[in-house]
Amino acid sequence: MSLVAGCDVGSTTGKAVILKDGEICSYAIIQCTPSPVKTAQLVMAEAARKAGLSGTEQLAYIIGTGYGRMKIPFANENVSEITCHGAGAHWLCPSVRTIIDIGGQDCKVISLNNEGRVIDFVMNDKCAAGTGRFLEAMTRVLSLSLEELSNISLEATSPANITSQCSVFSESEVITLLNEGREVPDVAAGIHLAVANRLLALVKKVGQQPDLAVAGGCAKNTGLIKILAEKLNMPIVALPRDPQIIGALGAAVLAGQKAG
């Protein structure tokens, strides 16, 4: 029996995936703590518990990835999230050639070859615009949850135009739109449109090849995915497992290769 794992400590969530004989045995997602070490320990303990393991001692190989990958004490090695996202997406859906990863504090577009290897990528980690943090800020202005923001945007009849490239200024713009009497669904759709436009600019730098998939927690936002597909003029392939675990899954897949 081969047991390996991947642990992805990101900017907002920690993810862990355990593979048993090449198949997903368990996974866990938690909110990050202030300590990357503690986040890694907690999320891996949860994944191990779900797999019926007492701890990490039974795992043949563990690869860490994400922002906190250097702080994962039990990892045998660490690998960049770019490589791990490519490996995870390819493992789930070998036809994927373009990945848009929308993280908590950055977004990236990755181009893959037919073997799942990264051939190009572009990353925006200098500004919160187009990230999960941006959407969270907008939900606070609208007094909505992320799920409510997603759902209500689907009711829009005329999406609002949000032009600010800065998250702080975008908040002010949203408040102004509401004060002017714009309907909440139209403002919500405008927020998703603003994110889609920023992602589109990144996609143009790498190029979009089918199949295209979206990873990260924001991939669960149906309102955003709908508008993004329209802007790209290309269908977005739904990954068959939770899109938020793709990096950790890729790390586990690579761990499996190292363990033989």
| Interatomic CA distance for residues 50 and 43, integer angstroms | 11
What residues does each domain of the chain span? Answer: 1-93+241-260, 96-238
Angle value at C-alpha 79, between 59 and 117, nearest 5 degrees: 110
Amino acid 168: pLDDT: 74
Mean pLDDT score across all residues of the chain: 93
Tokens of 193: 């449109």
Which residues, including other chains, have CB under 8 Å from residue 138's CB and lie 6 or more apart?
A: 149, 170, 171, 174, 191
- Tens digits of per-residue pLDDT, 76-135? 999 999 999 999 999 999 999 999 999 888 899 999 999 999 999 999 866 666 678 889
- Give the fold, CATH level 3, of 1-93+241-260: Nucleotidyltransferase; domain 5 (3.30.420)
Topology alike, domains 1-93+241-260 and 96-238: yes
* pLDDT of 129: 64
96-238 has which CATH code?
Answer: 3.30.420.40
pLDDT value at residue 125: 63
The conformational region for residue 219 under phi > 0 = left, psi -120 to 50 = alpha, else beta, is alpha
Mean pLDDT of 50-74: 95
Tens-place pLDDT, residues 145-183: 999 999 999 999 999 999 876 777 888 999 999 999 999
Give the C-alpha distances (Å, rounded to integers) separating 158 from 23, 175, 199. Answer: 45, 17, 21
What is the Cα–Cα distance from 12 to 243, expressed in whole angstroms?
A: 15
